Amino acid sequence: MIKEKIQDALNEQINAELYSSYLYLSMSAYFESINLKGFASWMRVQTQEELVHAMKFYDYLIERGGKVVLSSIESPPTEWPSPLAIFENAYQHEQKVTGLINELVDLAIAEKDHATNIILQWFVSEQVEEEASADEVVQKIKLMGDARGGIFMLDRELAQRVFTPPTATQ
CA-CA distance, 47 to 24, in Å (whole number)?
A: 5
- Answer whether residue 11 is part of any domain: yes
Residue 60 lies in a domain: yes
* Closest listed residue to residue 126, CA positions, set 90, 161, 101: 101
Q: pLDDT digit string (tens) for 16-45?
A: 999 999 999 999 999 999 999 999 999 999
Is residue 163 included in any domain, yes or no?
no
Find the domain containing 94 and state its range.
4-158
Please give the tally of structural domains in the chain: 1
pTM: 0.94
Note whether residue 68 is domain-resident.
yes
What CATH number does the domain containing 147 carry? 1.20.1260.10
Q: Is 170 part of any domain?
A: no
One-letter amino acid at 141 equals I
Sequence-ordered alpha helix ranges (H) in 64-111: 83-110
| DSSP letter assigned to residue 79 | -
For residue range 55-100, list pLDDT tens digits in order.
999 999 999 999 999 999 999 999 999 999 999 999 999 999 999 9
